[in-house]
Amino acid sequence: MRMMIFASAILSSLLTTSVGAEDSNGAKLTVEHAWARASAGTTAAAYFRVLNQGSAGDRLLAVGTPVADKAAIHENKMENGVMKMRPIGPITIAPGQSIVLKPGADHVMLIGLKHPLKEGETFPLTLSFERAGDVQVAVRVERAGAMGADAADHGSMQMHDGMEHGGMNRF
C-alpha cells in the first residue's frame, strides 16, 4: 500500500506541464498548467498560462493537436448582453507579462474530437509562437466541471535549446 501511494505521488508530480522555450532573440516563454475538461461530445476546450520571462515579446500564432480535426484560439466576449465565442488572431505576450487561457475567457477550442476526452488522460498540444517556434505541451484532462485549480500541480518539464527534459510528458 505504501509503495502504491509513493508511486502515485511520483506520477502526479511528473504530470504537471511546465514547458519552457527560449529563442536567440530574447523571447523566453514558459507554458504552465495545460489542462482540459473531460468531454462527452466532439468539442472541448484547452487552457494554460504562458509567461514571457525574456527581453523580447512573442506572439502565439496557432495551435494544433492530433486529438481533434481542428484547434483554434477563441475568445468569449459579452456583446449586447449575449456571450459570444469567436476565433481570434495571434495573442501577444509582452516581456515580463503573461497570458492566461481559462474557462469563460480566451481558450483553445478543440473541434472534431477523434474521441471524447477522459479524466486522467493527457494529450499533446502544439503551440506555434512567432519567435520561439513550436512548443509541445502535455494537456492533462480534468473532471468535466473543473475550473483550473485541479490542474495546478501535476509535474513539470523544461525545454531548452529545443531539447525536452523531464519525466513522462514527452510525446
Task: Domain ranges for the chain, please list them.
Answer: 2-152
The predicted structure's pLDDT at residue 17: 42
C-alpha distance from residue 33 to each of 16, 139, 156 (Å)? 6, 8, 9
Separation of CA 78 from chain center: 24
3-state secondary structure of 14: helix
Interacting residues of 98 by C-beta distance below 8 A, sequence separation 6+: 49, 50, 51, 52
Cell (9 digits) for 10: 511520483
**Helix (H) or strand (E) segment spanning residue 158:** strand 158-160
The CATH label, of 2.40.30.10, 1.10.150.20, 2.60.40.1890, 3.40.50.300, for the domain at 2-152 is 2.60.40.1890
The predicted structure's pLDDT at residue 145: 73
Question: What are residue 149's phi and psi, to 5 degrees?
Answer: -65, -30
pLDDT tens, N- to C-terminus, the chain (171 residues): 444 333 333 333 333 344 455 444 556 899 999 999 999 999 999 999 999 999 999 999 999 999 999 999 999 888 899 988 999 989 999 999 999 999 989 999 999 999 999 999 999 999 999 999 999 999 999 988 777 654 343 333 333 333 333 322 222
Q: Which amino acid is at 18?
A: S
| Cα Dmax for the chain | 57
Question: pTM of the entire structure?
Answer: 0.73
